[in-house]
Every structure is written in C-alpha cells, then in structure tokens.
Structure 1
Amino acid sequence: MKGRGKLHRAWWMMVGCILLQAGATGVFSNCATIFYSSICGELGFSNGAMAMFTTVRTVTMAFAMTGVTLLYKKIDLRVLLSALAAVGAACFASQALFHNIWQWYAMGVVYGIACGGLMTVPATIVINNWFHERTGFALGLALSASGVAGAVINPLCSALISALGWRPAAVVVAGLALVLLLPATAFILRLTPEEVGCTPYGAKQRDGVAERTVLRAQDSPLAAKGGAFVLCFILVILPNCVVQITYHISLFVQQEGLSLALAATLTSLVMVGNTLGKLLLGMLNDRKGPWFTSCCACAALALASLGFTGGRAAPWLLYLSAPLLGVSFSLAAMLPSLIARQIYAAQYQKRYSVLMTTGTLLGAVANTAIGVASDVAGSYLPVYAVSAAACAACAVLSVLLGVWERRTGPAPLEKAVVCEDKNG
C-alpha cells in the first residue's frame, strides 16, 4: 500500500463502511417503516402499538451501541459484525411469521442489539482509526450511504409489498440487506490498520513511527455555565424526536387516504434530505459554526412540519417538505458531536456519549408518544403542528447559545504532535 500510485487500503475501509451503513441503517432501520401500514391494515394494530415496537428496538439499540463496542477488541470485528448482520436479517425476515404484536416486541429486543452493533458506531470507529487526514470527508460519505440506500430501496420495498404481499417482501428485503452487509463485514473491514501491517491514511513517518499533528482544546468558558449543558441537551433532543415522525409517514399517508406508493416516495425523499443534509450541514458548520448550522436546520424542520399539516389540501407540499424533514436525521447524527467539540473539547468523549445516548433514548419515547397522540386525536396533524412550534423555538435557542458563547469567549487551542507506534 505504500507504493506510489497505489490506492491506500483506508479507502477500501471507507467502501466497506458505505456498504455497512447502506445495509444496516439504510435497510434495517430506514426501510422497516414502509411495512407498518400493511401490517396494521392486515392485523388491526393501532399506530401506538406498532410505534411501541420501534421504541423497544431503539431503546435496546441505544444501550447496545455502548455495550457492543466493548467487544471490538475481544472478538474479531469480521466475526462480530457478520454475526450481527445474520441476526438482524433473521429478525427482519421473521416478521413474515408473526400474527401478534407481542412477537414484534420480543423480536425488537434482539433486533435492537443487532442494529445497535451495526449502525453508525463501527463505521465511525473504523474510519477514525484508518484516516488521519480527510477523516470528515470519509465519514460524511460513509454515513450518507444510509440515506442513498433508503432512497433507492424504499420504492423497491413498496413494489415488493404490492406484488408479493408484506410477508414475502420482508424475507426478500432481509436477503437484500445481507447482500450489502456480508461482503463488508466478512471480507473488507478491519478495526485498525495495524492488523494488516498498514499505517493510517495521512500518517507521517519518523523513525518507523507514525505521527500526526492534532489540536488539543480546552473547554469553552461557556462549559462552566450551569445552564449551558441543559440548553444544549434540549437542543439535541429535538432532532431525535423529529426523526421519529418520519417513521410514521406511511401511517400518516394511510390516515389521509393517500396511496402506499406516495408513502414510499415521501420516505425516499426523506432519505434524500438525510443524505444531502449531512453534506450540507458539514459544509455549513465549517464556514459558520454549529450554532448557525443548528439554527438553519431547525428552521428547515419547522417549515417541513408546517408543510405536512397542509399536505391533505395541497399534496405538492409533501414533496417539498419530505426532503427538509430528512434533515432531522442529519442533525440528530451530527449535532451531539458538533456541540461537544465546540463547548466541551477537553471532555469530548464523555459529553458526546451523554448527549448521543440520552437523545436516542428520549427519541424512542417520543416515537410511542407520537403514535399514541395520533390515535387519541385521530390525526397526525397536531403532531406536526407541535413539531413546527418546537423546531422554531429551537432555532431561536441556537441563536441565543451562539450569542452567549460569543460573550463568554471561544475555547483556546493548543497544537500537539501525537506519535503512534506502527505495530501498536
């Protein structure tokens, strides 16, 4: 890999992470909801009952994200991820045999463990281990694959459900996920470059030791303010809650008397917004910082929510609003990291972990609340109205946090050289 003109193996790791995100997040998570309206229609489940399945899966997934990482150094990554991929596919396909809601709840626990071990975390760790330069580009491209896969595969799911019925379609989609996952998990991915005698991409060599220059930052003065973390916490919760609304799109469309094909199209447009959102928010953050980025994203989510409230009278609004609603995925994935780096640089890992885990857990609770609220109100329109108001409030909160930080001053930076033994 050191030869001139040869492609560094790190780029193959990025390809593996793209396949991993496409299969795990793109299929297992993003495509699951397209089945909900057909399941509820055949078996008579309420929206709230089906939403509880997503809650069970998401809560389990939040804990699994932390627990599975402890196994990375004890079990070969290829073996671990391949086993999780097989379990996830088996869970997805097993829906074809279910007739009672408790079966989805029981499966959701196992499914959540598999998804938690496959989604986002391994791709982030692998890319950070393999890239010392262009890390953001590689990670952004890998994470965007989930949106691309969702945008492409959701219409395919809709077509399969219409042609075969939802039960056979679940088996076919599970097989498709394995086709994406197993080449990456079994053959491509390695946890660290040292496993195959490589150095990370962009690492400089000095006396046989890889070195890189990094920035060591202290906490921002804003971190010492007691209320700052609470406000940041509120800001992080929002996109995780709005993400849950996207999981109800097929049920919303059914409730409004629109077609399943429209539900698949809107879900695909949400995934387009998810994909482009990660790239655009990253660029905006580099230029304007996290508070401006958060303000713009929250404003976009407010407009998207308002658009859905008028979707029955003007269906064209749904086509415009769905991509904007997809920004919630991007913001939920990126905002905890952006805030932790901006304010809590010296305690980044701790603060990031707290923001990410609690945001995911509270988002799971919101999913059930959304389903129950729609059952009580007989419509999703009040949910979208509340979402619009909350997003607008968080756009204002982003501005206030930005002003507060400017008044307290930025975090100081200190350059340092980190040396890493090539042999670990």
Structure 2
Amino acid sequence: MDMKKKKIHYAWWVLVGLVLMVGLAKGGIMTAGGLFLTPVTEDLGIGMGSLTLYFSISSIVTMLFLPIAGKIIAKYDIRVILITSIILQAGSFAMFGLMNSVWGWYLFSIPMSIGSVFVTQIAGPVLINNWFKKHNGLAMGIMVAAGGAFGAILQPMAGNLILSGGWRSTYIILGVLVMAIVIPVVFLTIRMAPKQKGLLPYGMDAEQKIDETATKKSANTEANRGVTAAVAKKSSAFYALFIFFFFITAISSFGQHVAPFAMGLGYDVAFAGQAMGGWQVGVLIGALAFGVLSDKFGARNTAIFAMLLGLVPVTILILVPENAMFFTIAIAIYGFIVASLGTLGPLLTTALFGNKEYGQIYALAVVGLAVAGIVALPAYGYIFQWTGSYTLALYSILAMLVLNVIAIIFAFKGKKKLEQAGLWN
C-alpha cells in the first residue's frame, strides 16, 4: 500500500522525455545555428544577410505549417510524429555540413523547420497541459530550462569543435548526436494523454479520492474551461497575445546573432561559444524562475517583470560591449529573459483562453513567432551587413520590450471582455 502511494506519477517520466528532446533539439541545434554564421560566411564568401535568409525561410514554413501541426498532433500517434520530426530537424541540420552553396541552407531549412514545429514548439506545451493539472508552471519551466542546461554544455562544445575541426564536421556531429539520443527517448517515454496509461493528470487524483466517477467528471469540466478557438481568434486578447509572441520572438532571435556580434567586436569563436554557454545558463535559470514565479504571482505579472528586466542587458550591450566580463554578464541576463518565451508564452495562452481548445489557440498564436522570425532574423543580419554594427538592432529591441509590456496589459483587458460577454466558461 505504501509502495503504491510513493510510486512516481507517469507525468514525470513524460517530462523527462520532453526535457531530453527539447533540451537537445534546442540547445544542440536551434540555438547553435548562430555559431556557424561567421565561419560559413567567411569560408564560402556569403554575405551575412544572404545566409541568414534561411532563418526567414524556416519562419515562413513554420508559419504555414503551425495551423496544420495542431490538427496533426491531435489526430496521429505522438511518438511517430516526434520521431519523424527529429529526423527531419536534426538530419537537415547535419546536411548543412555537406553544403557548398547558400541554396543548401535554403533547401534544408524547410524540412528542418517542419520537424522543429513539433519537437520544440507544439508537443511540449500540449503534453504538459495534458499531463499536469498541478505544478503546470513548474513543469513548463523545467522543460524550457532543459534547453538552457543542454545549451550551456553544447554551445561551448560546438564553438571549440568549430575552432578545432571546422564547421562542416560540427554540423554533422551535433545532428547525428541529437538523433541518436532523442529517438529512443521519445519511443520509451512519450505518451499523448494520461488515459493511455489508465491514469488521471498529475494532481487530479490527489484532490478527489471518494468517487472516481466524480473525479473524472471534474477532470473533464476543468479541461474544458475557457473559450473556443473560433471565439479566441476574433478577440482583442488574441491579437495582443499575437503581438507579444511577435516581439518576444524578435527579441529572442537576436540569440542567433550573438556569435557574429561578438566576433565583430574582435572576440574569437571560442569566446562566442562561451558567451552562448552563459546565455544558456541564463535560459536554464530563467525558465525555472519564471515557472515558479508564474505559479505564485501569475503569468501576467511575471511576464511584465521579465520585459522590464530585459532593458538591463540590452543597455549594457549598447554602452560597454567591448568589456568581455560585462558582455558575458549581459548575454547571460539576456538568456534569462529569453526563457520567458518558452515558459510564459504557453502559460499566458492558458491564462487568457483556458484549456477548452488550448492546442488550436496556441498553434494560431505562435504564428506570431514565425512572422517575427521571417522579419527579425534577416533584418539583424542586414543591419550588420550594411552598417557593420548591431547598435540599431539593440535600440529596436529596447523598443520591443516596452511595447510588449503594453501588449500584456491589453491582452488581459481583452480577457475581461470575454468573461463579461459570457464567452469564457
């Protein structure tokens, strides 16, 4: 009897699987891309703006595929989807190491971004929402923190590998490593919903023990609270959330330019890798902190705090970027702020619209993420290509942080309108 009580709920094993999948896919692939920009452009004679256009192609594909992805993940076996997706994402990343023309990046960014939609964006929030009724924010924070934890190890490793073995072999090593670990992990740990294991979500079975039928009814009621996707997408709250996703993604996208920014200031690729390791440590701490803070103070207040804190590192990067210590500290704080995208984005969506049709609403809202990628990533590259500096980009980021505070305030005013109209139930 006591042994049964102490048994670990399967939700935590799902989270372990997500930690490894998201951590390696983000920390080992998505955020590592920036380390390759300067070596590739110098070796192949490609302009920074031209190469970073592959980020725009990825974002366009993401934008087009996100609405479809929400339906696919609800219809088909989650393990088949995720194994296929990691092969597309990590396999395409490895193929970059064989390319001699910028067109190779343009071509393979398409399957890479399709895989990434499921692995790094949709699956985690949907699965955590399904499996965790209690500690939802903490679970989301742990998952996002995984990207920081793995990135803190893999970013410096990638920088040193590029320096010692070249960018080609590093692309291949990272891509193959991620596939080799993630595929068996997904197969062994990931399940779509608690009912597949004969369970209720974590935290649900602890609340009502007397009548199992009443518990299940309560679980279904709780799961269905909120607004429909049809109502949500017409609301001012949705447009404000879309703007939040757009700006926070544009802010986060600067991470791909940290390495060329550092090297443009005279630092080498090894230092850039170490700085990105600091970024990932910031992501790790920020993801955990934002998960805990949102559980205590709410997603709204935590998101506003994050945006205001973001003004600090950007100001440092504008004023004293040549100081190695201040540069590293600023990048680490910047990473801390960027964690708000993965942690607070899903939590804000739930806070604003509930769980009734969460997957569909979240998939629609994060189109703002894709749109920002289309615009911001190459824009930063062209700013550097044309001006030889990222100063203008940093001033733009300051403005976006302030605008996001306004967007959050308007989003929750929009939620009140939905509640007053009787549409949030």
TM range (shorter): 0.7 to 0.9
Aligned mates of 1:149, 1:233 — CA distance in 2: 29
Matched residue, 2:266: 257
More helix by share: 2
Deviation at 1:153, TM superposition (A): 0.5
Instruction: Verify the 8 A CA contact 1:242 1:328 in the aligned structure 2.
Output: no
Q: Deviations over 1:207-253 (max 9, x none)?
A: 5675245384689xxx9x98666555444422111111111111111
Matched residue, 1:139: 140
Q: Deviations over 1:147-197 (max 9, x none)?
A: 111111001111111221111111111122123312222222121233344
Matched residue, 1:371: 381
User: Is the alpha carbon distance of 1:91 and 1:209 closer, same or farther for their aligned partners in structure 2, counting shifts above 3 Å?
Assistant: farther
2:246 maps to a residue whose letter is I
Q: Is the counterpart of residue 294 in structure 1 residue 295 in structure 2? A: no
**Segment drifting more, 109-118 vs 196-205:** 196-205
Q: Is the counterpart of residue 241 in structure 1 residue 250 in structure 2? A: yes
User: Is the alpha carbon distance of 1:134 and 1:92 closer, same or farther for their aligned partners in structure 2, counting shifts above 3 Å?
Assistant: same
Q: Deviations over 1:107-137 (max 9, x none)?
A: 1011111111211321222232223333332
User: Is the alpha carbon distance of 1:142 and 1:289 closer, same or farther for their aligned partners in structure 2, counting shifts above 3 Å?
Assistant: closer
Secondary structure, counterpart of 2:323 in structure 1 = coil
Matched residue, 1:386: 396
Q: What percentage of residue pairs aligned between the two structures are identical?
A: 22
More strand by share: 1
User: Is the alpha carbon distance of 1:234 and 1:275 closer, same or farther for their aligned partners in structure 2, counting shifts above 3 Å?
Assistant: same
TM-score, normalising length from structure 2? 0.85
Matched residue, 2:20: 19
Matched residue, 1:110: 111
Aligned mates of 1:194, 1:346 — CA distance in 2: 17
Matched residue, 2:340: 331
Matched residue, 2:155: 154
Matched residue, 1:40: 41
Q: Between Structure 1 and Structure 2, how many residues are aligned?
A: 409
> Which runs of structure 2 are paired with 1:5-404 in the superposition (5 Å)?
5-72=6-73, 74-204=75-205, 206-207=211-212, 210-211=215-216, 212=218, 214=222, 216=225, 230-345=239-354, 349=358, 352-395=362-405, 397=406, 401=410
Secondary structure, counterpart of 1:71 in structure 2 = helix
Instruction: Verify the 8 A CA contact 1:64 1:112 in the aligned structure 2.
Output: no
Instruction: Verify the 8 A CA contact 1:96 1:171 in the aligned structure 2.
Output: yes
User: Is the alpha carbon distance of 1:371 and 1:174 closer, same or farther for their aligned partners in structure 2, counting shifts above 3 Å?
Assistant: same
Aligned mates of 2:123, 2:235 — CA distance in 1: 33
Instruction: Verify the 8 A CA contact 1:155 1:268 in the aligned structure 2.
Output: yes
Deviation at 1:37, TM superposition (A): 1.5
1:384 maps to a residue whose letter is L
Deviation at 1:293, TM superposition (A): 2.4
Aligned mates of 2:124, 2:345 — CA distance in 1: 17
**Segment drifting more, 290-299 vs 204-213:** 204-213
Where does structure 1 lack aligned partners over 5 or more consecutive residues? 418-424
Aligned mates of 1:11, 1:227 — CA distance in 2: 36
